[in-house]
Structure 1
Amino acid sequence: MPTSLTLTRARLGSGGPLGGLRITDGRITALGPDVTGGDGPVRDLDGRTVLPGLWDAHVHLGQWAKVRHQLDLAGAASAREAAEAVRAYAAATAGAGAGAGPVVGYGFRDGLWPDTPEKSLLDAVCPDRAVALVSGDLHAAWFNSAGLTLVGRAGHPTGLLREGDAFRAVSALPDVPSGVLDGWVADACGAAAARGVCGVVDFHIADNVGDWTRRAARARPGVRVDAAVYPPYLDEVLARGLRTGDALPGTGGLVRIGPLKLFTDGSLNTRTALCRDPYPGLEGTPGEYGVEETPYEELVRLMRRAAEHGIMPAVHAIGDRANTRALDAFAEVGRAGRIEHAQLLSPDDVARFAALGVTAGVQPAHATDDRDVADRHWAGRTGRAFAYGDLLAAGAQLEFGSDAPVSPLDPWIGIAAAVHRTADERPAWHPEQRMAVGDALTASARGRAALAVGDAADLVVVDVDPLKADAATLRAMPVHATLTDGRFTHGPV
């Protein structure tokens, strides 16, 4: 394989000049108007734009790979409509022997439904086959009676489980063989590369270090992967002396140790995000302010233990009270790290991200997906929800992700949402929180604002300069090619 590749007649960055770019042994070694050829192949890009390669800084890759093969419930407008989709799917899949396995669906969002998910609805449409439906935010699961029995929850009064109960029930479902899942994950990585993705932070709730070691032994990963660690696997990682950023042996440097994932609260759609104000209609109930997932003292203990051994903490926090607690914990531990989601913020907390060195790992597509849910359940507070403009103005570092499967693993959807704050014909939702195109691209490229000699040759080539793209074109950006470590992972070879 040649060690040198030259890209010519390329626009070098969004709004940049025309020129060439040379790659040698996986790194950019020359850049500018006079770069025209080299020892290896030359690719004429015909004026297309070359950008730093994109990352998805928050994805549940195993779950994303699975839901691509499951019943899609994202469009269901009510519990009854979702149940009818189950009826049709069960009938369509029963003939090929699938009836022995559960009907598994994904993507329902009940936060705005006029009716309530109940096991009786699913029992009526699918009485003899287990049904397990996972919510679009991953924080709730809806089962029929047979499904509850399958996961050891027979007799549950409603069939709708939330937070830890839901996570445990879903994990008890029969899983696909590892070889099948690895194939699905490889396909998902290929699809991500086709959208310009060079790397992901994989927050799949599993033994990610072990899983990615196995996958890399079978085939070269299609993207770079930072494999997140969960508390049950922390001791093993520490025993091996691994730290965040270390390459996993046998992965060619493409898989590295990621952060330790911890939870402070739940989610908005499930009304379990921990907030300072009660949720409408839940006043006076035990869950009126949401759910505290990890007590503060335990959060600090785990963060400190990880940080002292070189593992960066990444703390899930969605509600404003949860974000305050997460920031307080970072201040007490005295180490930098990440807050994942940072959806609702108290005004006094915005500046603390930069002051404490805490990166905000955010998912701009959630702002457009959840605007109606937020307007209902966070009424009067949405001016400080998904407050990317405020965070950027305060000096915080933002990194974009999708939280796939919560939103699709496609960075251009998030970039367009951050820039335009709408995904339909409606006006921008809180346009004061918009980001400039350049800032959104930087947040999608892990802080790489421009091409530079010496950088890894992780690149995306697009047909339209993002600075000249309208909202629809930006969202559906045509990607001509993607290179990771100087190799084409999508496009011409």
Structure 2
Amino acid sequence: MSAVLLRSVRRVGTSGTPADVLVTDGVVTTIAPAGTLAPSSPDTDVVDAGGAWLGPGLVDHHTHFDQWALVRRRVDVTGCDSAEATADLLADVARTGVADPVLIGHGYRDGLWPRPARRALLDAAAPSLPTVVISADLHAVWCSTSALAHFSRVLGRPLEAGEDGVLREQDAFDVTGALSSVPGAVLDGYVADAAEAAAARGVTRVVDLEMRFGLDRWVRRIHGGTDALRVTSGVYATELSDVIARGLRTGDVVPGTRGLLTMGPFKVITDGSLGTRTAALVDGSGSLAWAFDDLVAVTRRAVDAGLVPAIHAIGDRANTLALDVFEAVGARGTIEHAQLLVDADVERFARLGVAASVQPEHAMDDRDIADRHWAGDTDRAFAFASLVRAGAEVLLGSDAPVAPLDPWVSLAAAVGRDRDGREPWHPAERMSALAAWRGSTDGRVGVSVGDVADLVLTEADPLAASSAALRSMRLLGTAIAGRWTHLDL
């Protein structure tokens, strides 16, 4: 039997009166006034929390975990405000020497650049090295001439781009996938480091929507000792047949992983993104990846096999399409992103039992891009509060590496819709602290007897913190089933 005694904690969602909490074999078994509980055995791990706030562990409902692990080792260009500045930064890196066969930057946002990307800039930045820059939203890859040739060979088909050198949507995804093909042991090490960093920010579970089916990689990683997170691993249409053949259903716990790994949803992408200007809008702009009948057919096939759909939709036209698909199939699931909605669709989320899986920090990253490219419509963009008022379930995540895998960043953006000292953007769509917290904890508010002890210890009460305080929240501890994955007391 394993036991942990937390002394003098204040439970989130209560008045804050200190209590002692006993965890036995991964479950909260006793809660009593502070100072009244004794260790249940000589081996009990006693932690004096000193009045820290105890809450349920946090969940990131949308990540691309391999990409996040890799991006942490690529050239960060998010601070560059032009194509020229991006190329100059990469040129500086190239001059210092690059050991890898491709120079990779990540995080460009060209929606506000004064001049468009140009292939010649990257050709000049690193003349002897294939150079690519992945957009912040992952829907575009800016390539040098040698990079286009290199990845045409790798993929076995010609990649064509104009003078800008930009590949979009599926071509971009294919190049990003090729860039992810690093040796398994190397990538596993990167992932282990990223998992520990997530645990240090209070994360106990992630939904991994990596485009390559990741279940078997996660089995290998867990067997190799990567145990800082619970993982729910999704699948895309390209590998749907294999998952169905294996009899995997959403929610299945994978044997031999100590309960850490679960089969996730069926993910399908309907449109592009705001940053790449490929989101499908009611004005006819953007692009749809699926015809309605085809999307219904593949979604029904997944649902019939026991998989819950998670449908990517950014633009208002794409969101209407996604809701129409859920209605036609008669299934529940999630719409991932739900960034721009027509008014009539807001209540449909609740009526159809479809959850909005949103990434609040995207609103902060893209507010100026939205004001330019969705001018006049941003009052219905990132409509978090409207969805909550309509009775829809709203789940929070990061879409890492699009935004940092840090739930406190997501919480801050959800409740404040502000950052960097700027005024809140469309403050009417701010979520309440309680709604945002529930969206980050699988609906839990506090810690009760009988709960699985996936826990987080924080210095301050997350339900009373300002958006600025949430962004800088000090984490004191994170536990999965009572096992510490991070402790800093």
Q: Structure 1 length as normaliser, TM-score?
A: 0.94
Structure 1 distance, partners of 2:180, 2:358, is 32
- SS in structure 2 of the partner of residue 219 of structure 1: coil
Q: Deviations over 1:396-437 (max 9, x none)?
A: 111100000000000001101111111121111111111111
Q: Where in structure 2 are the equivalents of 1:62-81 lying within 5 Å?
A: 62-81=66-85
* 2:255 is the counterpart of 1:254: no
Structure 2 distance, partners of 1:24, 1:234, is 39
The Cα of 1:118 is off from its aligned counterpart by 1.3
* 2:192 is the counterpart of 1:179: no
Over aligned residues, Cα RMSD in angstroms? 1.5
Q: Deviations over 1:261-286 (max 9, x none)?
A: 001101001000111126xxxxxxxx
Question: Are the aligned partners of 2:52 and 2:459 in contact in 1 as well (CA < 8 Å)?
Answer: yes
Structure 1 distance, partners of 2:380, 2:14, is 31
Structure 2 distance, partners of 1:168, 1:468, is 44
Partner of 1:270: 276
Question: Are the aligned partners of 2:433 and 2:464 in contact in 1 as well (CA < 8 Å)?
Answer: no
Bigger drift between 481-490 and 215-224 goes to 215-224
Partner of 2:399: 403
* 2:90 is the counterpart of 1:86: yes
Q: Where in structure 2 are the equivalents of 1:37-436 lying within 5 Å?
A: 37-39=38-40, 40-94=44-98, 98=99, 101-152=101-152, 153=158, 156-158=161-163, 159-173=165-179, 175-277=181-283, 289-436=285-432
Structure 2 distance, partners of 1:444, 1:174, is 28
Aligned identity (percent) is 47
The Cα of 1:470 is off from its aligned counterpart by 2.9
* 2:37 is the counterpart of 1:36: yes
- SS in structure 1 of the partner of residue 22 of structure 2: strand
Structure 1 distance, partners of 2:227, 2:110, is 36
Tell me which amino acid in the other structure corresponds to 2:485: T
Tell me which amino acid in the other structure corresponds to 2:8: R
Question: Are the aligned partners of 1:216 and 1:250 in contact in 2 as well (CA < 8 Å)?
Answer: no
Structure 2 distance, partners of 1:165, 1:464, is 45
Q: Deviations over 1:155-186 (max 9, x none)?
A: 63331011011112232347321100011001
Question: Are the aligned partners of 1:54 and 1:198 in contact in 2 as well (CA < 8 Å)?
Answer: yes
Question: Are the aligned partners of 2:12 and 2:462 in contact in 1 as well (CA < 8 Å)?
Answer: no
Change (3 A) 1:321 1:32: farther
Gap regions ≥5 residues in structure 2: 153-157
Question: Are the aligned partners of 2:139 and 2:172 in contact in 1 as well (CA < 8 Å)?
Answer: yes
- SS in structure 2 of the partner of residue 267 of structure 1: coil
Question: Are the aligned partners of 1:150 and 1:173 in contact in 2 as well (CA < 8 Å)?
Answer: no
- SS in structure 1 of the partner of residue 463 of structure 2: helix
Tell me which amino acid in the other structure corresponds to 2:437: L
Structure 2 distance, partners of 1:74, 1:369, is 10
Structure 2 distance, partners of 1:111, 1:127, is 26
Structure 2 distance, partners of 1:52, 1:32, is 18
Bigger drift between 127-136 and 25-34 goes to 25-34
Q: Deviations over 1:232-280 (max 9, x none)?
A: 22222212211101011221110000001001101001000111126xx
Partner of 1:283: none
Question: Are the aligned partners of 1:151 and 1:173 in contact in 2 as well (CA < 8 Å)?
Answer: no
Structure 2 distance, partners of 1:371, 1:154, is 32
Structure 1 distance, partners of 2:308, 2:479, is 28
Change (3 A) 1:171 1:383: same
Structure 1 distance, partners of 2:342, 2:187, is 41
- SS in structure 2 of the partner of residue 425 of structure 1: coil
Question: Are the aligned partners of 1:230 and 1:262 in contact in 2 as well (CA < 8 Å)?
Answer: yes
Partner of 2:5: 6
- SS in structure 2 of the partner of residue 110 of structure 1: coil
Q: Deviations over 1:269-311 (max 9, x none)?
A: 1000111126xxxxxxxxxx10101221111111111111110
Q: Deviations over 1:42-90 (max 9, x none)?
A: 2111111001100000000000000100000101100010000110011
The Cα of 1:450 is off from its aligned counterpart by 2.3
Q: Deviations over 1:377-396 (max 9, x none)?
A: 11111111100100000111
Structure 2 distance, partners of 1:155, 1:128, is 20
Structure 1 distance, partners of 2:454, 2:67, is 25
Question: Are the aligned partners of 1:14 and 1:49 in contact in 2 as well (CA < 8 Å)?
Answer: no
Structure 1 distance, partners of 2:388, 2:96, is 49
* 2:461 is the counterpart of 1:459: no
Question: Are the aligned partners of 2:204 and 2:478 in contact in 1 as well (CA < 8 Å)?
Answer: yes
Tell me which amino acid in the other structure corresponds to 1:7: L
Question: Are the aligned partners of 1:12 and 1:20 in contact in 2 as well (CA < 8 Å)?
Answer: no
Structure 1 distance, partners of 2:59, 2:412, is 15
Structure 1 distance, partners of 2:131, 2:21, is 53
Change (3 A) 1:427 1:175: same
* 2:398 is the counterpart of 1:441: no
Structure 2 distance, partners of 1:64, 1:487, is 25
- SS in structure 2 of the partner of residue 414 of structure 1: helix
Regions of 4+ moved over 6 Å: none
The Cα of 1:472 is off from its aligned counterpart by 1.9
Q: Structure 2 length as normaliser, TM-score?
A: 0.95
Bigger drift between 117-126 and 463-472 goes to 463-472
Partner of 1:284: none
Bigger drift between 260-269 and 17-26 goes to 17-26
Tell me which amino acid in the other structure corresponds to 1:196: G
Change (3 A) 1:355 1:32: farther
Tell me which amino acid in the other structure corresponds to 1:347: D
Tell me which amino acid in the other structure corresponds to 2:169: E
Bigger drift between 32-41 and 289-298 goes to 32-41
Change (3 A) 1:487 1:381: same
